[in-house]
């Protein structure tokens, strides 16, 4: 088994672990962590494909773009959670039903 195949298997395992975390955890922070894990698995596969087919650096450029999107997603997600927590006193997305103030 070559080095590329091991990286693809590792990427598939990381992506599967991310999906498992997203579907089983109820905490919003853990859901964000699972999404980050899936994005990192996609980055690993992009760089692995780029190493296997080294005619251009497209895989590395896409991986860099995915990293920027992941940082933005994490910043916005954590900002929403930090803003909603004092009002709802929970970080479970199912229990956050309304973002308007109740009078």
pLDDT at residue 13 in the model: 95
Q: Is 80 exposed, middle or buried (0-12, 13-18, 19+ CB in 10 A)?
A: middle
Greatest C-alpha distance within the chain: 64
CA of 99: how far to CAs of 74, 75, 81, 93, 102, in Å? 20, 19, 11, 12, 9
**Taking a C-beta distance cutoff of 8 angstroms, is the pair 96, 88 a contact?**
yes
From first to last of its 103 residues, the chain has per-residue pLDDT tens of: 677 788 889 999 999 999 999 999 988 889 999 999 999 999 998 888 888 877 878 788 888 898 999 899 889 988 988 888 888 888 888 777 765 566 5
Measured distance CA(17)–CA(42) in Å, rounded: 13
pLDDT at residue 23 in the model: 95
Q: Considering Cα of 68, then 71, then 72, then 73, what sign does the dihedral take?
A: positive
Q: Walk me through the domains of the chain, giving residue ranges and CATH numbers.
A: 3-95 (1.10.287.3510)
pLDDT at residue 55 in the model: 81
């Amino acid at each position: 088994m070559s080095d590329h195949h091991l990286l693809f298997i590792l990427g598939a395992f990381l992506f599967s672990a991310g999906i498992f975390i997203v579907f089983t955890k109820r905490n919003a922070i853990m859901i964000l962590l699972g999404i980050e894990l899936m994005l990192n698995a996609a980055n690993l596969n992009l760089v692995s494909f780029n190493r296997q087919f080294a005619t251009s650096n497209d895989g590395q450029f896409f991986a860099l773009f995915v990293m920027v999107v992941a940082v933005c997603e994490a910043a916005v997600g954590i900002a929403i959670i930090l803003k909603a927590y004092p009002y709802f006193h929970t970080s479970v997305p199912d229990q956050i039903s309304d973002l308007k103030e109740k009078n």
